[in-house]
Amino acid sequence: MSVKILIIDDEELFREDLAMLLREKDYYCKTAANAEEGLKLAADFMPDIILSDIVMPDRSGIDLLDDLARVNPDASVIMMTAFGTLETAIQAFRKGAVDYILKPFVIEDVLNKINRIREYKKLISEIRYLRREITEDINSLPLESKSEVMQNIIELIKKVAPKNSTVLITGESGTGKELVAKAIHEFSKKKDEPFVAINCSGFQESLLESELFGHVKGAFTGAVKDKEGFFETAGEGTIFLDEISEMPVSLQSKLLRVLEQKEFYQVGGTKVIPMKARVIAATNRNLKTLIKEGQFREDLFYRIAVFEIELPPLRKRLSDIPFLVDFFIHKFNSEMKCHYRGISKEVLQLFMSYDWPGNIRELRNVIERAMILCDGTTITSDGLPAQMKSLTIQSNQSQNLKEAVQAFEGSFIKQVLNDCNWNKEEAARRLNINPSTLYRKMAELNIEGPGTPK
């Protein structure tokens, strides 16, 4: 869509000539001869950028700024005048103008200013979109989880987020460690600051040190100019060190010093740089085992594990699968313009019996793939990977549909009961059925509580 520009100026020749030049550059322009007309167009036309003269017969462009902000707060205003002073420019900026042009001007200068505003607006739009995506994923966590263990993790996230403590997130690959790190950042007081993620397994040792702390020109072969590191880029925000277990031991000692001293040096540099960012680390390996093997520093472990959050594998939170499936279907419906409503009973039974070695990431990929391959509004086994289809065939050979549904019901109810520590009233509430129905189902499906004599 073309950028909309409104020109407010009482000089007709200047106003219309400028509009013509901007239209030639594919901008959608409208013009106003005075402040009153300009204010009305700002509300009706809703321009992206407003070029307003300062000196006009009916009203000053400076005075108009407050009303423009009221009727169209997203518009960027550039002030124009042939009688500019430093005091006038300062007044315009204080009132909300984003730029200031002296007449007569060169059209290329105006186009450059407009392009800069467009790039800035695009960047802000992308940031808002990414933040909305992250927030939607974060806000979905309580809604898309029925397991007690995940509800407890959500409470831990909310408690630690406002603090500035270092956090260690552990769990198998694909369990959502980076999403939890983003949730901590988003719920923190510094959510408007950068969130910078780096995978420690993706770099050689010398390069990883440079990426983390930056380097000065000439520090090593190929360092042709100064480079800012991730710790500096993160500012007062959050730096997420994923797969910290893969960090070389020699670099671990440098990281430990940074965490303890709250300062660092660039590679080859002598200037002390304060470290203001919060550090969140994650790993899918057992750090205590690595400590015994001499592959991870014990002192660094205790420094990063101030507050530890352990994410369970998907196979230990099976009761969340139906809700995660609904969440991903809704997400991909929006992204891929599909209209899926759910999955078949056959697929749901398979999902509940599958081991999910890739955890939530694997479930997400399976859902996205199936939505590409299947037709209609229901995901069927036709869209599943080959290894899952073979399990489906085995399942179908051993059970008829009624037996398959009963097996799924039994597995699902047992999982919810386990999540509730076999509190049947709580389990009935989570299952959205009456307690009497739950007792009947348990009897029909021969579900016995832990420790029940046989």
Instruction: Quickly state the pLDDT bin for 398 (edges 50, 70, 90).
Output: very low
Given a cut of 60, is residue 424 above it in pLDDT? yes
Q: Spell out the domains of the chain, with CATH numbers in brackets.
A: 4-121 (3.40.50.2300), 144-312 (3.40.50.300), 316-444 (1.10.8.60)
Mean pLDDT lowest for which of 89-103, 154-168, 252-266? 89-103
Given a cut of 90, is residue 103 above it in pLDDT? no
Residue holding tokens 């009624």? 402
pLDDT of residue 238: 95
pLDDT of residue 317: 85
pLDDT of residue 259: 95
Whether residue 341 contacts residue 383, with contact meaning beta carbons closer than 8 Å, is answered with no
Cα separation, 271 vs 397, whole angstroms:
70
pLDDT of residue 402: 63
pLDDT of residue 134: 53
Residue type, 79: M
pLDDT tens for 60-79 read: 899 899 899 889 888 999 99
Whether residue 54 contacts residue 85, with contact meaning beta carbons closer than 8 Å, is answered with no
Instruction: Quickly state the pLDDT bin for 423 (edges 50, 70, 90).
Output: confident
Whether residue 397 contacts residue 390, with contact meaning beta carbons closer than 8 Å, is answered with no
Confirm whether pTM is higher than 0.85. Answer: no
pLDDT of residue 371: 95
Mean pLDDT lowest for which of 46-50, 351-355, 368-372? 351-355
Pair of tokens at residue 273? 């740089």
Given a cut of 50, is residue 393 above it in pLDDT? no
- CB count within 10 Å of CB 425 equals 9
With a pLDDT cut of 90, the percent of the chain lying above it is: 44
pLDDT tens for 173-196 read: 999 899 899 989 988 999 889 999
Instruction: Quickly state the pLDDT bin for 116 (edges 50, 70, 90).
Output: confident
- Average pLDDT of the chain is 85
pLDDT of residue 352: 84
- CA distance readout (Å), 306 to 162, 166, 191: 15, 6, 21
